[in-house]
Amino acid sequence: MIRSCLLAWHFLTIIPLFKSSRVQLAPRELASSMQWYPAVGLAIGGILVAGDTVFGMVLTPDMTALLILCVLVVLTGGLHQDGLADTIDGLGKRGSPAERLAVMKDGSIGALGATGLVLVLGLRFAGILHLPSPERTGLLLCMPVIGKWAMVVSTFGSSHARVGGGLASGFLNEIRLKDVLWATLWAGVALCAILGWQAGGLFLGLGVAVARGMVFLCSRVFGGITGDVLGAINEVTEILFLLAVPPILLLVVS
């Protein structure tokens, strides 16, 4: 259990808790670690809240929001942002699934991917800046939780787009229903305890819709999903979470 949690932390952040070169990462272990993704997301959210508190004491709201965004990107090593940019480039390429996947595998970022990344970062900045004050702490805690959980929901029942597999193949081939159920339990408890059961349930529904919708789209376009797609799903889910905050909270209050 502890090993799985450490693997999840190691995969989702740049902060080392063990020497990864000495650890043999079996595919089943990688897949099993996904049940801890929401818990790692909650820890990441805690770091964001701490940063928000400290920065907010001495800086303006816009500078605080920008620094929170920087903390999030640095803490996760830009892994999800890279996946998002590659996925946008692949979706924008005209051609066969193999040609689209070749564009995604290319180390350079295209104009479309760069533009999409800038727009998404702008949306995330605006969303963080305008989080309602009474619920700000809880929403910062929950934002990474729903994004990491969406990746778990996306992985289950999906196939890898590349014939030879890739970084995500171990997760896709070995994930089991119990991993998804445990991840859903952690995410559900966190969201409902922090935001209330009504808002928590609505946000979970949003997460499922975004995750499975993107899996459907990418399976049609690429012939499956990849690690880049999972990163893109995390980003899109968290952005839509921020955008959905005002209407969902208004609906719950009314």
The one-letter amino acid at 182? W
90 part of a folded domain: yes
CA 102, 105, 106, 108 torsion: positive or negative? positive
pLDDT at 254: 61
Could you list the residue range(s) of the whole structural domain that residue 94 is in? 35-245
What pLDDT band is residue 172 in, cutting at 50, 70 and 90?
confident
Beta-carbon contacts of residue 216 (< 8 Å; ≥ 6 apart): none
pLDDT at 22: 47
174 part of a folded domain: yes
How many CB atoms within 10 Å of residue 167?
A: 15
In DSSP terms, 225 is beta-bridged to 160
6 torsion bin: left (phi>0), alpha (psi -120 to 50), beta (else):
alpha
18 part of a folded domain: no
In DSSP terms, 160 is beta-bridged to 225
- On whether the pTM is more than 0.85, the answer is yes
Q: How far is residue 130's CA from residue 143's CA, in Å, rounded to a whole number?
A: 14
Residue pLDDT, tens place only, 78-105: 989 999 999 999 999 888 889 999 988 8
CA dihedral 219, 214, 172, 139 (to 10 degrees): 180
Alpha helix locations (H) across 59-135? 61-75, 79-92, 97-105, 111-129
2 part of a folded domain: no
How many CB atoms within 10 Å of residue 181?
A: 13
22 part of a folded domain: no
What total of structural domains would you count in the chain? 1
136 part of a folded domain: yes
Residue pLDDT, tens place only, 27-43: 788 888 999 999 999 99
48 part of a folded domain: yes
Higher pLDDT, 162 or 231: 231
